[in-house]
Amino acid sequence: MKFEKPEGANPIDRMAVVGKPLSRIDGPLKTTGFAPYAYERHDVVPNQAYGYLVGSAIAKGRIRRIDTAEARRAPGVVAVVTSENAGTLALSQSNVAKLLAGPEIQHYDQAVAVVVAETFEQARHAAGLVRVDYARDKGSFDLAATRDSAPMTSSSGRPVPEPYVIGDFDGAFAKAPVTIDATYSTPDQSHAMMEPHASIAAWDGDRLTLWTSNQMIAWAVRDLAKTLGMPAEKIRVLSPYVGGGFGAKLWIRSDAVLAAVAARVAGRPVKLALARPQVMNNTVHRPATIQRIRLGAERDGRLTAIGHESLSGNLPGGRPEGATAQTRLLYAAANRMTALRLAALDLPEGNSMRAPGEAPGMMALEIAMDELAEKLGLDPVALRVLNDTQIDPEKPERRFSERQLVKCLEEGAATFGWSRRNPRPGQVRDGAWLVGMGMAAAFRNSPTMKSGARVRLETGGAVTVETDMTDIGTGSYTIIAQTAAEMMGVPVDKVTVRLGDSAFPVSAGSGGQFGAMNSTAGVYAACVKLREAVSAKLGFNAGDAEFSGGRVKSGNRAVRLADAAKDGPLSAEDFIEYGDLTKTYQLSTFGAHFVEAAVHAHTGEIRVRRMLAVCAAGRILNPKSARSQVIGAMTMGVGAALMEEMAVDKRFGFFVNHDLAGYEVPVHADIPHQEVIFLDEADEYSSPMKAKGVGELGICGVGAAVANAVYNACGVRVRDYPVTLDKLIDRLPALA
């Protein structure tokens, strides 16, 4: 099915099942321990051995010699794999560094060996017996030191000669009566998902089966085929349950490749999970940024110039953090400039983490807007409303399909009690606490992506959906079941959803805020085809047939849906693909975040007291799971604002606090009451579902809203995240 024009009325519009706050159908399996995660698949293949990864102790250099003799003699050891016996491993298009090093070392904790043993403890013990002699080279690990030398690139990392400019930015900024010119920084951050990267690999002759934790099944097959040098059709990847990913599991990592290689060398199935320090240094992270923002405005607050430059670092061949993405679309101004600079750093690979680009970019942009509002003497909400635009600022011929940013801002302000905010910082006290309010706009694009599914009507009238879509804790099982139930006119409990298997049709996968809308649209397309087959079988005109209550009706005639499959199951397969609508209409999601925070007047301790998000993100397929996505994203935003920072050892090039004891993330005690409001919106330009993504919108702007609340509370402006008490304590207002 090709989506080429705005969607008219369709069966989803009945909203009998879609749009209802159903509890997740996979919830009982997860809460009782019956949901099979990758490392726990003791049932799928016998005689599994355990692998343990040995990571590089240096960040850059070469392996002079690797001695595995003692490890091989250790109790229970089955095999030790290094680059010397692993065979040729190519570099896939999704990996910047090799997943098994040798002899060159590209970053700290890059895998140099895998030890396979009968038990996990034996494998871990023997891994400590692998002796590696390194020749260390000098590396580059300090982002700030590259500010004057890092070249300009595109978002893909391709060199470009100059910034992207519309109008006369320099001239407009110089003439603007009110300006802001400030630099902000965000640190390296870890995805810190609950389930580490883990895989079980088994060979049957020349065929590989991999049970793994991965967000994008088809990408995993593609990249395994390239890395291992084998046909993709001889690889099967299964990942029905994923314990969080946030972008770190968009691509295969060393656990997947090295489990496969180790299983081939050992001649038996191998399971391999990365320890938490390996997740943080061996896999990917959100890169640090240094961002300069320049805003020029008339005295009434209308922006005349917007400039946003961002510096980030990565391994050679990697991409920059696209922190300027939202600045190109969020506010109106005739004169604009954006630029990305990319430093070559010898740190572990930087790559996508929840709302890549917009999350750190809005942490800077939305503080700058707050600073501009204060300089203008304008309310921060009013400033953003004044600079709203219904067209793409860079392409005036393209308007937004739906853009309810102003309504998000105004409804959020009214609900949160924004009018009670004292605009003068440091004026509101509650005992020893200084209390303030802050806000920020939220923005994230809604990408379209081809996505397929197979839908089958079983002989008893039940419906089965099969697609390689994944559920990373986001509720995919439930919204896909709701879609099929709505389309086929059956209760949700009559729908079985099977996900995360490369034997199923290729879906959009989970990531980038594209998963829900595209995967359900693919299921919609397959259901349209199945409805046609059912109608033909029962003697109905498919265009006139109504599917509801387990029956198919047209005119005065009604037949049980199950009757269409009395001679055997009926199956249909299709996919959604998109035409050129996005060339005419910009698909984006919008929101507003409001935060109340308190700063202890004596210690500088920060406490977030309450939070509100207002979101305009198309049709909400399941308000309960969507709310869970947004409050989870808001929680991540609090972490980014107040505590999350991977500390770089700039001498030796690694992340020092590489566990959940040293890398702090929010816990229940850190998170107050969170309220989420979804505006009524059905975007006919997005897909047949009229939905858009929401899971990443919830983090965009949160960090700035927290930082702005802290400033309003105590009058100390912090531009270098995270906003920790040491950056406040010697600048707090004098005690009376």
Q: What is the CATH number of the domain that holds 18?
A: 3.30.365.10
Residue 560 has pLDDT above 70, yes or no: yes
Looking at the structure, tell me whether residues 218 and 107 fall in a common domain: yes
* Domain assignment of residue 690, yes or no: no
**pLDDT value of residue 200:** 98
**pLDDT value of residue 736:** 59
* Domain assignment of residue 695, yes or no: no
Q: What is the pLDDT of residues 254-294, one digit of tens each?
A: 999 999 999 999 999 999 999 999 999 999 999 999 999 99
Are 229 and 90 within 8 A, CB to CB? yes
Residue 454's φ and ψ, nearest 5 degrees, are -120, 130
How far lies 38's CA from each of 257, 273, 275, in Å? 14, 9, 15
User: Which helix (H) or strand (E) is 359 found in, with range?
Assistant: helix 358-376
Q: Which of 553, 584, 615 is the last residue of a domain?
A: 584
Mean of the pLDDT values across residues 615-632?
98
Largest CA distance in the chain: 85
Q: Nearest-5° angle of CA 493, CA 498, CA 502?
A: 170
Q: What is the pLDDT of residues 684-705, one digit of tens each?
A: 999 999 999 999 999 999 999 9
Looking at the structure, tell me whether residues 13 and 56 fall in a common domain: no
Q: What is the pLDDT of residues 286-298, one digit of tens each?
A: 999 999 999 999 9
Q: How many domains does the chain have?
A: 2
Would the pTM of this model clear 0.95, i.e. be above it?
yes
Out of 358, 371, 374, 696, pick the active-site residue: 696
Place of tokens 């109790």: 75
**What range does the domain containing 8 cover?**
2-35+448-584
How far lies 447's CA from each of 408, 470, 544, 696, 702, in Å? 21, 17, 32, 12, 21
**pLDDT value of residue 127:** 98
Looking at the structure, tell me whether residues 16 and 124 fall in a common domain: no
Residue 548 has pLDDT above 90, yes or no: yes
Looking at the structure, tell me whether residues 200 and 242 fall in a common domain: yes
The verdict on whether 681 is a catalytic residue reads no
**pLDDT value of residue 735:** 77
Query: How far apart (Å, rounded) are the C-alpha atoms in residues 480 and 651?
Result: 49
Looking at the structure, tell me whether residues 98 and 200 fall in a common domain: yes
pLDDT-based confidence at residue 727 (cuts at 50, 70, 90): very high
Q: Which of 234, 263, 282 is the last residue of a domain?
A: 282
Contacts of 727 by beta carbon, 8 Å cutoff, 6+ apart: 716, 718, 720
Residue whose C-alpha is closest to residue 227's, from 254, 199, 263: 254
Looking at the structure, tell me whether residues 52 and 132 fall in a common domain: yes
Looking at the structure, tell me whether residues 26 and 71 fall in a common domain: no
The DSSP annotation for 82-140 comes to -TTTS---PPPTT-SS-SS--SEE-STT-EEEEEEESSHHHHHHHHTT-EEEEEE----
Which alpha helices (DSSP H) does 377-451 contain, by range? 380-386, 405-416
